[in-house]
Chain A
Amino acid sequence: MHKRITRLTTVGLAAAAVGILLAGCTPSSGGATTEDGKSKVVFWQQKFEDYQQDWFKAQVAEFNDSQDEVEVELVVVPADTWDQKLKAAQAAGKAPDVKTTSYGNIKPMQANGQIADLTGLMDDGAFDDIAENIAPFVTIEGGVYGYPLLVEPSTVLFYRADLLAAAGIDAPPTTWDELLDDARALTKDGVYGMNIAQTAPDLGWSSWGLQYTAAGDLPLRGDWSEASAVDPAYEDLAKFYQTLYSEKLMPQEATYPYADCSFFGEGKVAMSACGSWALGQISANPDWAGVWENTAVAAFPSIDGDPTQPTSTLGGWTLTVDAKSKVQDGSAEFVQWLLADDTDRLVDFFTATGFSKYPARVSVTEALAATPEAAENAFLATITEDIVPYAKAEPSYPWDVSIAFATSLEKAMRGGDIPAAMNEAQAAIEDVIKKQKLAGTGGD
């Protein structure tokens, strides 16, 4: 009897230990409150330039001090593991209440029920102020699923005015042929004439604008029923990249990713395709002052010189509220306070960006234009007048489509047979359409 009791005790203790162990592993559900009774809102911010982290940190601190009901906890997450970390958090029931979301992800996330409609959570007036050309990026069937912070063209031509002048080139190129000729003339003395994306993950999104100018549309278009990667116009696009790479008019290895304009900043290239955000990057680096003095920007050339053709997509960031968040009201209150209320708060942000990013709200755009810094900025007019009006929205189809096309572009770039590469892309995109049941779901 004594032995039995001991054994039972042992079993009981073991069961208790396992229970404690499992309890420790169980994720705590959202909607927690802080020690002083405030609702806790977890906010994931994707890591961008340092000044953005500083701005978000300062704003969160100010918001937390400004009221007694909501406490926002800011978590900065690196961009390269963002998607995987977010999905792991969603699987564990620990998704952030508020997060930065790119325009391209709004539609797929909404389709999967991941993000909350903000129209019932924020003041109506907040939505009226969103610029007319940007509202469709976040609006689906009358619901608004993300509040936009900024837009930024993903493809702008940066060039060194001094090197172009020295080579006898009096204006930036306006066609792809001119760009190739200029790059040939500028490639000398250890400086490459041009820099552009060269790896599939970078080409996947940075070539969207060039796909538009080459073929008038993307390789998955219309209602997404069929792939169009074998459109002969894309062979010109592949040839353009191939010429730049094979003639060694651009760096031969991707030391820096496309989003990082360091090749240009370090003076290793005379021209570079990069997003508008590179203005902030180059101007902020004291070591690149010599390059910055001679930096100029222009719309990226279209294939035939038509300046009204899109050569860039309009990327950018919004804040979204998680559909499963238990503190949706508090989350929306924070989003409204940060992005939809005080224009001065955002004017400060856009001034800090060095005018490398652009407001999504009409009132902020007007307030920003009225500042003396904006009047002095040499690049603002080029980007807001020559690029943004013609830029296209990012596609909302799955990334698998973009990466399939970009992998074929990369193969062609590194000397592969162009029609064969495009056939591969065609087959891969058709496979995505079939398996992910995309036919008939497009239409943007």
Chain B
Amino acid sequence: MTMSPQSTNRLATAASIALEPEDEDSAPKPRRNVSGRLSTHVMDNRTAYVMIAPMVVLLGIFVWWPLLYSFYLSTFEISFYEDPVFVGLQFYGYVLEDPDFWHSIGIGALYVLYTVPVIMIVAFLVASFIRTCGIKLAGLLKTTVYVPTVVSAVITSVVFVFMYRADGGLVNWLIGFVGLGPFAYLSDPNIALPAISVPGIWLAFGITTLIMLAGMYDIPQSYYEAAQLEGANFVQRTWFITIPLMKNVLLYLLVTATIAGMQQFELPLIMTQGGPTNSTMTPNLFIFNQFKDPTPYATSFSLTAALLLFFVLGGVSMLIFRLIRSDKAIDA
């Protein structure tokens, strides 16, 4: 399981609610009363605390402690054989002024731009179609669109490398019928990134479709019936009923797809190794490559770059949440 920034965000919200004082406008009470209230509060909610304790402990061990320790380690030039040298925030400076780091963030953003809108639109259309189908056909379609999700990204990459080959690849064979090509898709810096985006879309759209479909099934059928009685057509029903009521689902999918896109790693690793001329060097692949040299510098640089990427991704998530205000769905 991965800890998405979104879930940390929810945790932060939950934590802030939990920490809010109960009576803000009441005057300060004597200490005994406060401690008395606190113990009453603890006693009243002890079952809840016991229930959340395992999760808090696990998050502490596997998320918060490693994260804090990573920040601590990033202030050293780490060696696994000699004493680490304290360098303060030096490596943050190195990463932030490295044009290759920012270039990789740009590549990640471009990959998101190529994949996420297509995934969202295609998944929405397919989900809308499946919703209108009968139970048996819908079941078949749901299984079919889910298949890419269970195929390993590594296998997909290898298959697409064969499909894209300039000598005898399936894609060049197909476009040959209309007199085009052959193109060396993965060797041209201008089309390599769009080329690896296609398997990226193929891999992600199935699960996105199913989640959208679950959101659509949650919308009461009576809304649509009422709209139909009023004479609303499909586009109007989609625009005024489906999309507004699925706002939270769409927001969730948008954030997770964006973060997953920025973190894309296997496709460029296997299909292009980040090339040609770094045109598919996504942030995670860049960090992975920095980890190569057997020097303390390489270790500390990749660690710091990974931590900074964490902030970049957190920033992107916050930006999306800010731009699309997350509201509670009305009634649904």
Partner of A14, one of B57, B61, B289: B57
Closest to B50 in A: A10
Query: Which residues of B are found within 8 Å of A18, using beta-carbon distances?
Result: 57, 61
Given A14-B53, A414-B276, A414-B277, are A398 and B295 neighbors across the interface (CB < 8 Å)?
yes
Q: Which residues of A contact B298 (CB under 8 A)?
A: 398, 400
Is B327 an interface residue, CB under 8 A from the partner? no
Contacts of B292 in A (CB 8 A): 83-84, 399
Using Cβ atoms and an 8 Å threshold, which residues of chain A touch B166?
Answer: 252-253
B22 in contact (CB, < 8 A): no
- With contacts A14-B53, A199-B275, A410-B275 known, is A436 near B297, CB below 8 A? yes
B-contacting 9-mer, from A108-116, A228-236, A334-342? A108-116
How many B residues have CB within 8 A of the partner chain? 34
Residue of A253, A407, A436 near B278 (CB, 8 A) is A407
Secondary structure of the A contact surface, majority rule: helix
Residue B86 is within 8 A (CB to CB) of chain A in the complex:
no
A411 at the interface (CB under 8 A from B): yes
Within 8 Å by CB of A398, from B81, B94, B291, B293, lies B293
Q: How far is the CA of A112 from the CA of B81 in the complex (A)?
A: 7
B189 at interface, CB cutoff 8 A: yes
Q: Is the Cβ of A201 less than 8 Å from the Cβ of B273?
A: yes
A410-B277, A414-B276 known; A22+B61 contact, CB < 8 A: yes
Q: How far in angstroms is the closest Cβ of chain A from B79?
A: 6
Given the complex, which residues of A lie within 8 Å of B186, measured CB to CB? 253
- Asked whether A200 lies within 8 Å of B277 as measured between CB atoms, the reply is yes
A102 to chain B, nearest CB (A): 11
Contact B293 A255 (CB under 8 A): no
Q: Given A114-B81, A253-B184, A414-B189, are A201 and B57 also a contact pair (CB < 8 Å)?
A: no
Contact residues, B273-297 vs A (CB, 8 A): 273, 275-278, 288-289, 291-297
A253 and B299 alpha carbons, distance in the complex (Å): 32
Whether B294 pairs with A109 at a CB distance below 8 angstroms is yes
Residue of A nearest to B189 (CB): A414
Q: Would B288 and A84 count as touching, CB distance under 8 A?
A: yes
Interface residues of B, dominant DSSP: loop
| 1/0 contact string of A240-252 vs chain B (CB within 8 Å) | 0000000000001
User: What is the size, in residues, of chain A's interface with B at 8 Å between Cβ atoms?
Assistant: 42
B187 within 8 A of A: yes
B61 touches A105 (CB 8 A): no
A188 within 8 A of B: no
Write out the residue numbers on chain A whose beta carbons fall within 8 Å of the beta carbon of B294: 83, 86-87, 105, 108-109, 112, 114
Complex contacts, A398 vs chain B, CB 8 Å: 293, 295, 297-298
Q: Contacting A200 at CB < 8 Å: which of B54, B57, B80, B275? A: B275
Give chain A interface residues in 11-33, CB to chain B under 8 Å: 14, 18, 21-22
Q: Is the CB of B79 within 8 A of A108?
A: no
Residues on A with beta carbons closer than 8 Å to the beta carbon of B278: 200, 407
Bound together, the chains give a CA A113 to CA B82 distance in angstroms of: 7
Indicate whether B167 reaches chain A with its CB closer than 8 angstroms.
yes
CA gap between A95 and B186 in the complex, in Å:
36
Measured in the bound complex, the distance between the Cα atoms of B62 and A346 in whole Å is: 48
Asked if A1 is at the interface (CB within 8 A of a chain B CB), the reply is no
* A112-B79, A323-B81, A324-B81 given; A255·B297 CB < 8 A: no
- Please name all residues of chain A whose beta carbon is closer than 8 Å to the beta carbon of B142 when the two chains form the complex: none
Separation of A400 and B301 alpha carbons in the complex (Å): 12
Contacts of A253 in B (CB 8 A): 165-166, 184, 186-187
Q: Using known A-B contacts A199-B273, A200-B275, A200-B277, determine if residue A91 contacts B295 with beta carbons closer than 8 Å.
A: no
Given contacts A83-B291, A398-B293, A414-B277, 18 further A-B contacts (CB under 8 A): A14-B53, A18-B61, A86-B294, A87-B291, A91-B299, A93-B80, A95-B80, A108-B295, A112-B81, A114-B80, A198-B187, A199-B275, A201-B273, A201-B275, A398-B297, A400-B293, A414-B276, A436-B297
Please name the 4 residue pairs, one residue from A and one from B, whose CB atoms are nearest each other, closest first: A253-B187, A253-B184, A113-B81, A90-B80
A to B CB contacts below 8 Å, 7 in the list: A83-B292, A87-B80, A112-B82, A114-B294, A199-B276, A403-B289, A414-B277
